[in-house]
């Protein structure tokens, strides 16, 4: 799986959009970008994934650049409960192999 | 995605005793489950891959005789920390590969060895 690079921490004001970047310059053509988050003392939670088109669901939007070397996770209206560590992971879809985590971005939503 | 139940959520044990952590896939037949360990303010570290009906595969540096993994059915994997010591205190998390959504994770087990 390709390596990803994320900023270690970010702050965001409550009710504003949180934009979390991820670099994955070595991504291969059939690898997907997955985002998970981990709220303190809980297991990671799936947020969204995509290949090359932008994706949106009830939790977030995922914007992937045309060259697929980077992506941005957008939480449109961040709340205090969105404070968590966000992990960007690149891997093959339907891959039964292990998933390895980088350091992630610690997002703090402030009132 | 699947529903993964992990039990117990918290456990405190005395040094030298063993602790068993269960990971159940409630609505998905999991031939493979994964066990992670997470120390405070660190990321998840993969410990081992649990394969139904066969031996687990351990990551380098993880003692297989200390962290016993049993995956006897498609819905249950257990991790037993044998002869636990304070340095084994950590947050242990299991996961199941569920296809399109990548992985579903258990809620984690906070182990404290005193």
Q: Give the tens place of pLDDT for each residue, A19-55.
A: 999 999 999 888 899 999 999 989 999 999 999 989 9
pLDDT at position B103:
87
C-alpha count within 13 angstroms, C-beta hemisphere, residue A26: 7
Which of B82, B94, B44, B72 is closest to A89 using CA atoms?
B44
Higher pLDDT, A107 or B102: A107
Quote the CA–CA distance of B92 and B46 in Å, as a whole number: 10
Residue A88: strand pairing partners: A35
Q: Is B26 helix (H, G, I), strand (E, B) or coil?
A: coil
In this prediction, residues A90-111 reach a mean pLDDT of 86
Give the gap in angstroms from C-alpha B104 to the nearest C-alpha of chain A: 7
Tell me which residue in A93, A99, A102 faces B100 most closely, judged by beta carbons: A93
More confident residue, B78 or B72: B78
- Region of A15 on the Ramachandran plot (φ > 0 left; ψ -120 to 50 alpha; else beta): left
Interchain pair B103, A93: CB under 8 A: no
Q: Which residue of A has its CA nearest to B98?
A: A94
Q: Taking CB atoms and an 8 Å cutoff, what residues of chain B touch A84?
A: none
Task: Note whether A43 contacts B105, CB cutoff 8 Å.
Answer: yes
% of chain B exceeding 70 in pLDDT: 96
* Sheet strands (E) in B1-113: 4-7, 10-13, 19-25, 32-38, 45-51, 57-58, 67-73, 76-81, 90-97, 103-105, 109-113
- What is the spatial distance between Cα B78 and Cα A72, in angstroms, rounded to a whole number? 36
Contact of A96 with chain B, judged by CB distance below 8 Å, is answered with yes
Write down how long chain A is. Answer: 111
| pLDDT over 80 at A57, yes or no | yes
Interchain CB distance below 8 Å, A95 and B6: no
Confidence at A1, pLDDT banded by 50, 70, 90 = low
What are the phi and psi torsion angles at B101 (to 5°)? Answer: -95, 15
What is the C-alpha to C-alpha distance for residues B87 and B18, in angstroms, rounded to an integer?
Answer: 14
**A2 pLDDT above the threshold of 80:** no
Residues, chain B: 114
Give the C-alpha separation, B21 to A34, whole Å. 27
Is B54 part of the contact surface with chain A (CB cutoff 8 Å)? Answer: no
CA–CA dist A12, A19 (Å, integer): 9
């Amino acid at each position: 799986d390709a390596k990803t690079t994320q900023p270690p921490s970010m702050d965001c004001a409550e009710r504003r959009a949180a934009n979390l970047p991820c670099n994955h310059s070595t991504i291969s053509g059939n690898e997907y970008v997955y985002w998970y988050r981990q709220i303190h003392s809980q297991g990671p939670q799936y947020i969204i994934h995509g290949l090359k088109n932008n994706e949106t669901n009830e939790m977030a939007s995922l914007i992937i650049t045309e060259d697929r070397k980077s992506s941005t996770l957008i939480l449109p209206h961040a709340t205090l409960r969105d404070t968590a560590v966000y992990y960007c992971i690149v891997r093959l879809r339907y891959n039964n192999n292990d998933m390895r985590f980088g350091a992630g971005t610690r997002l703090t939503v402030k009132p | 995605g699947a529903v993964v139940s992990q039990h117990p959520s918290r456990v405190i044990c005395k040094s030298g005793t063993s602790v068993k952590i269960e990971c159940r896939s409630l609505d998905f037949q999991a031939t493979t489950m994964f066990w992670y360990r997470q120390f405070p303010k660190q990321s998840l570290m993969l410990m081992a891959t649990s394969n139904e009906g066969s031996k687990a595969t351990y990551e380098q540096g993880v003692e297989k005789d200390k962290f016993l993994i049993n995956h006897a059915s498609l819905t249950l994997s257990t991790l037993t920390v044998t002869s636990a010591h304070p340095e084994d205190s950590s947050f242990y998390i299991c996961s199941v590969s569920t296809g399109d959504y990548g992985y579903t994770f258990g809620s984690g087990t906070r182990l404290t060895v005193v």
